């Protein structure tokens, strides 16, 4: 089985107890290249709560172009809840560069039992944009026409047949939608394109990982899959989320047609990363590897991911080797 190789000095980011906004959890990082440096936007939780839930904010760490040498980590969050649709947090960011701007898709969390017209829609995909990762413009909920809770929104990094393309998740499936513009987007053509698979490592639900990466074979799409080994009796609700000792989050890959985001050319039978190390198996939510961002540096794929919803880690592979394994159906 083809597996990513973990960075030997993992984790690369850990909670900082002296920072109240990131004292407990730093995880699920997005990533973008700017000025030849790697900008990692990560989700963080600390001591404060909203209606019994730990509030999520986004922090920024800048790495040198080797992908691993930390140059600067900002002491304060660079993105935080300010709007009516996100009082409980801004979660799980994904970044795509378009038209000179970096677009951030994230999960806006209104909070359990929040009294709003959203009712049960406590999680929705929202969008913001920036030029420098410090000053942001929020554009509101991305998919107001979708009347079910949605998460895991990602934008493709270029138009396909004149349309911007978005993947998002309504549990347990991945959907696609299209818009002619990002300035005032109107998303159309909502359609289910990927589903969980019975009796597999991704049998319970699936969702986007990093935004798709264009390769010679098609769009490389890293996604997460979840399975469970037993009944719900080992599921515990906490301020940090649902701790489920029978559930495991892993990462797999798909290959999407360059001209048709609804056409899956390849889907891995197995995974490319599963929880094995202590920082992936033990933490606020155990047995989790979860990515929101990946970049290609020279010929190496760098996948930044959260371990056990507690730390940020890194795993890599040679992109040509991954593509060759896909061609030979060895994943």
pLDDT of residue 248: 96
CA proximity to 11, closest of 32, 25, 30: 25
Q: Running DSSP on this structure, what letter comes out for residue 207?
A: E
Task: Return phi, psi of residue 232, to 5°.
Answer: -75, 0
Residues in contact with 219: Cβ distance below 8 Å, sequence separation at least 6, in sequence order: 156, 212, 213, 255, 256, 257, 258, 261
Give me the percent of the chain exceeding a pLDDT of 90. Answer: 86
- pLDDT surpasses 60 at 118: no
pLDDT digits (tens, 9 = 90+) for 216-225: 999 999 999 9
DSSP readout, 157-188? SS-BTTBEEEEEEETTEEEEEEES-SSS---E
What is each CA distance from 286 to 9, 33, 111, 242, 276, in whole angstroms? Answer: 20, 30, 22, 10, 11
* Neighbouring-strand partners of residue 121: none
The pLDDT tens digits for 155-193 are: 999 999 999 999 999 999 999 999 999 998 999 999 999
Encoded tokens for 222 = 């890293």
| Three-state SS at 30 | strand
Note the pLDDT of residue 230. Answer: 62
Q: What number of residues does the chain have?
A: 331
CB 93 within 8 A of CB 107: no
Q: Give dist(CA 200, CA 226) in Å, integer.
A: 9
Pairing between strand 101-109 and 300-307?
unpaired
- CA 193/CA 301 separation, integer angstroms: 25
| pLDDT given at position 235 | 66
Give the torsion through C-alpha atoms of 196, 314, 280, 253, to 10 deg: 10
pLDDT in the model for residue 243: 73
Residue 91 makes CB contacts below 8 A (sequence gap 6+) with 28, 43, 56, 106, 107, 108, 109, 123
In the chain, the percentage of residues whose pLDDT exceeds 70 is: 93
Angle at 77 between CA 295 and CA 293, to 5 degrees: 15
Instruction: Yes or no: say if 109 and 134 are a contact pair by the CB < 8 Å rule.
Output: no
Assign 237 a pLDDT band (cuts: 50, 70, 90): confident
Q: What is the CATH number of domain 5-327?
A: 2.115.10.20
pLDDT digits (tens, 9 = 90+) for 31-70: 999 999 999 999 999 999 998 889 999 999 999 999 999 9
Ordered by start, the domain boundaries in the chain are 5-327
3-state secondary structure (DSSP) of residue 234: helix
């Amino acid at each position: 089985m083809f597996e990513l190789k973990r960075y030997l000095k993992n984790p690369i980011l850990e909670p900082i107890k002296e920072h109240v906004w990131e004292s407990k959890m730093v995880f699920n990082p997005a990533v973008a290249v700017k000025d030849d440096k790697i900008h990692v936007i990560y989700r963080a939780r600390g001591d404060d709560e909203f209606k019994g839930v730990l509030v999520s904010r986004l922090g920024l760490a800048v790495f040198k172009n080797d992908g691993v040498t930390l140059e600067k980590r900002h002491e304060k969050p660079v993105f935080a809840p300010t709007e009516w649709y996100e009082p409980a947090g801004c979660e799980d960011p994904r970044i795509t560069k378009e038209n000179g701007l970096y677009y951030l898709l994230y999960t806006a969390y209104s909070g359990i039992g929040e009294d709003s017209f959203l009712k049960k829609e406590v999680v929705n995909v929202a969008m913001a944009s920036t030029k420098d990762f410090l000053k942001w413009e929020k554009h509101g909920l991305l998919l107001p026409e979708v009347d079910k809770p949605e998460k895991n929104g990602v934008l493709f990094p270029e138009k396909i047949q004149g349309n911007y393309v978005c993947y998002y998740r309504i549990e347990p499936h991945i959907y696609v939608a299209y818009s002619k513009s990002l300035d005032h987007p109107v998303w159309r053509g909502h359609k289910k394109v990927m589903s969980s698979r019975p009796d597999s490592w991704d049998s319970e639900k699936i969702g986007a990982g990093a935004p798709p990466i264009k390769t010679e074979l098609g769009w490389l799409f890293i996604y997460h899959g979840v399975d469970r080994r037993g009944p719900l009796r080992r599921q515990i609700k906490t301020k940090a989320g649902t701790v489920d000792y029978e559930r495991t989050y892993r990462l797999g890959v798909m290959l999407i047609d360059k001209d048709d985001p609804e056409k899956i050319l390849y889907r891995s039978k197995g995974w490319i990363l599963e929880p094995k190390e202590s920082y992936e198996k033990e933490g606020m939510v155990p047995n989790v590897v979860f990515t929101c961002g990946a970049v290609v540096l020279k010929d190496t794929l760098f996948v930044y991911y959260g371990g056990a919803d507690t730390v940020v880690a890194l795993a890599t592979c040679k992109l040509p080797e991954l593509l060759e394994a896909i061609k030979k159906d060895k994943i």
